[in-house]
Amino acid sequence: MLAPEWMKNAKFPFGCVLIANRGEVACRIARACKELELSPVAIYTSNDKDAPLLDLCDQNYFLEGETLHETYLNIDAIINAAKETGAQAIHPGFGFLSESAEFAQAVTESGLIWVGPSPDAIEIMGDKMSAREKMRSVGVPLVPGHEVISTEVKDIHQELITVGPKLGFPLLLKASAGGGGKGMRVVNRPGEMAGAIEAAQREAESAFGDGRIYVEKLLSGCKHIEIQILADGYGNIIHLGERECSLQRRHQKVIEECPSPALNERLRNQMGAAGIAAAAAVTYMGAGTVEFLLDGENFYFLEMNTRLQVEHPVTEYVTGIDIVHQQFRIAAGLNLGIAQKDVSMKGHSIESRIYAEDPSSGFLPSAGPLLRLKMPQGPGIRVDSGVIEGNSIDTNFDPMIAKIIVYGSDRKSAIMRMKHALKDTVLLGLQTNIEFLHALLCDEDVVKGETTTNLIENKWPKGWTPSIDIDTLALGAIACAISQNLGSANLDYSKNNNVFPDPFLKLNNKYP
Amino acid sequence: MKIIDSNNDKWEISLQSINNLNLIRKITLNDEDYDLPKIEYSINKKTIKITQGGQKIIANVVRDKDTFWVHIDGKVLTFNSADSRKSATKLTEGSLQAPMPGTILDVQVNVGQLIEEGQSLLIMEAMKMEHKITAPFSGTVEKINCNVEQKVDRGFILIELKQN
């Protein structure tokens, strides 16, 4: 496959890209490929044979196997798929193998182009403990904490139990290989330590195959602010401003925005510079995100995500820079072509993550078929989704179904647009957090921009239940009766349900 | 048609069409007449249009076996068909159901064991998240219906307890 015209001066031109991912991010990347005249290749499993991704890609490669390790996490099978389909580059997306140094290494060694940073950078930053050491060495401020060197379960217990009280409770246990809220445990009292260590280790072992954990002081009432970085490998490193991702439940982000209402120009420049320093410390290349906790005017390094980030669209809206396009440019060996002074932020963008979960039972995951799916449309509304009506959400994968991203000239108009977009979203067949997201955007602290990472937990410790007035229930009941009587289009979804068209339906069909 | 909402209240609705006019003949809530302003409605291919006092409301309804899912004015409601056998499943206070679909990671008690309120009974996992099932009261383990690594649906009765 020939490289497109825009790559003609590139050091490492390529024309065909395998996307080592699934769902919404794979669709996002496939569309970027098409825009850039690159030919996208999808990998898929038997679960995903009806996924819309397959229509977006020029080639589809079937991965045999039942488990994730046999399919989306199978390095050999994916590289083999690239070889067989003639792909010259691999984009890992986020999640799965995107932060696997081993995968990056294997891709490079097999002569393919890796759309991402070097395996070394991934390894240092991917291991949260070595990342902390690196940041300490270049003077990036860290959350007070302690890294345990030993890998012996008994030693970890001993060391954390001794060190914990010195840092002061509450503490947060984190998986060294962690991310996405997995393998994290809050410890409020010394007595909870042993049980929490065990649970965090087990979760870390199950999610990452690496049970090492470390401890940080749990700072509460803070904001989660992250800096988007682009680096071209020729020494040009710029930042695209911040994203505020304070609204989280179970340490997973729910709503993100850009810019943050908490940052002024001076703080933005300081945090941007710290982000650039963090990236420079590992000779970073590509798109990456440096996450900080912001406590008043003080900020502390949390971790660096060496990949595309779920919430990247809010930065794209506000800066006008397509981050996936930049990833491909950098991978081809072209220089950035954007200087820091060219980056400006205009307007306001918000992202809502639609999760398959039940807010009323403490945001526990749900699953089920997407019997009806209608995503919102309109000016300033972007939907990143990897599913269509008729697909199912199952518990093997991440519970995120789709993202809605809006743009407005200011924060207030972005919130109004998002509230309407959420009300306009129809997703039936399983529990989701859509109504909760709407309620969150009506909360007075959220409206004021006074969000913290524990806002959701503090306001709704047991989860959130919608209040529905009785007239709405009555109208809902009537709608059920109407659909049943007049033969609503849903009935073909019901298996074992041999329904003939209702004869009364015909009475409505009067043509002029 | 008789349906039950998520608060366990019973609705009964009968509709009629006279001369191409779609009307509501009667609506009751828990067998008592429910007063609603006059309503007109029509149905498109996928959506239902309800007009109430000049205000137009669009509803989406799908039916999955005995469950109706309704989207109306940004809200999602669920109703169960009143004659479904599902609601007849006997659920005692000590029957602990799976709060989410997932896999059992660990069963921490045995049949006959005395347990205390708040004690962790089993751990399940979905989407790589762990969730602890704890005892709602002190008592005895009567029955365990699941094994480690078993996949269960939401609502599956995992453990049955007897209060002391």
Q: Please state the ipTM of this predicted complex.
A: 0.84
A393 & A376 share domain: yes
- CATH for A357: 3.30.470.20
Return the pLDDT at B88: 44
Q: How many CB pairs under 8 A join A and B?
A: 188
CA distances from A1 to A14, A58, A88, B158 (A): 8, 12, 8, 55
Of the candidates A225, A211, A135, the one whose C-alpha atom is nearest the C-alpha of residue A173 is A211
A344 & A454 share domain: yes
- CATH for A170: 3.30.1490.20
Q: What domain range is A405 assigned to?
A: 223-459
Q: The pTM is what?
A: 0.86
Given CB atoms, is B63 within the 8 Å cutoff of chain A? yes
Mean pLDDT of A220-242: 96
A128 belongs to a structural domain = no
Instruction: Write down the catalytic residue from A22, A185, A307, A353.
Output: A307
A384 & A282 share domain: yes
Looking at A115, A133, A168, the residue that finishes a domain is A115
Give yes or no for residue A162 having a pLDDT over 60.
yes
Chain B closest CA to A413's CA: distance in Å?
19
Return the pLDDT at B53: 80
Give yes or no for residue A27 having a pLDDT over 70.
yes
Give yes or no for residue A505 having a pLDDT over 60.
no
State how beta strands B2-5 and A426-428 pair.
unpaired
Give yes or no for residue A492 having a pLDDT over 80.
no
A166 & A237 share domain: no
Give yes or no for residue A42 having a pLDDT over 60.
yes
The label of the residue with tokens 């401003």 reads A241
Looking at A217, A232, A262, the residue that finishes a domain is A217
Return the pLDDT at A503: 41
Mind giving me the DSSP string for A91-134? E--SSTTTT-HHHHHHHHHTTPEESS--HHHHHHHHSHHHHHHH
State how beta strands B129-134 and B151-152 pair.
unpaired
Q: Of residues B4 and A212, which shows the higher confidence score? A: B4
Q: Give contacts of B7 with chain A, Cβ < 8 Å.
A: 473
Given CB atoms, is B39 within the 8 Å cutoff of chain A? yes
A126 belongs to a structural domain = no
Q: For A321-375, what is each residue's pLDDT tens digit?
A: 999 999 999 999 999 989 999 999 999 999 999 999 999 988 988 989 999 999 9
- CATH for A17: 3.40.50.20
Burial of residue B65, with CB atoms counted within 10 A of its CB: 0-12 exposed, 13-18 middle, 19 or more buried = middle
Look at B43 and A494 and tell me if their CB atoms are within 8 Å.
no
A231 belongs to a structural domain = yes
Residue A485: closest CA among chain B residues belongs to which residue? B15
A284 & A235 share domain: yes
A212 belongs to a structural domain = yes
Best of A192, A426, A509 to disrupt the B interface by mutation (most B CBs within 10 Å)? A426
- Listed by number, the residues of chain A in 159-198 with a beta carbon closer than 8 Å to a beta carbon of chain B are 181-182
Chain B closest CA to A371's CA: distance in Å?
7
Q: Of residues A10 and B97, which shows the higher confidence score? A: A10
Return the pLDDT at B92: 63
A149 & A272 share domain: no
Looking at A115, A136, A154, the residue that finishes a domain is A115
Confidence bin at A415 (pLDDT 50/70/90):
very high
Chain B closest CA to A302's CA: distance in Å?
21
Return the pLDDT at A308: 98
Mean pLDDT of B6-33: 87
Return the pLDDT at A509: 44
A133 belongs to a structural domain = no
Q: Of residues B3 and A487, which shows the higher confidence score? A: B3
A336 & A361 share domain: yes
A51 & A95 share domain: yes
A442 belongs to a structural domain = yes
A281 & A404 share domain: yes
A163 & A100 share domain: no
Confidence bin at A255 (pLDDT 50/70/90):
very high
Q: Of residues A245 and A490, which shows the higher confidence score? A: A245
Mean pLDDT of A257-274: 97
A291 & A410 share domain: yes
Given CB atoms, is B75 within the 8 Å cutoff of chain A? yes
A136 belongs to a structural domain = no
A178 & A149 share domain: yes
How many structural domains does chain A have? 4
A127 belongs to a structural domain = no
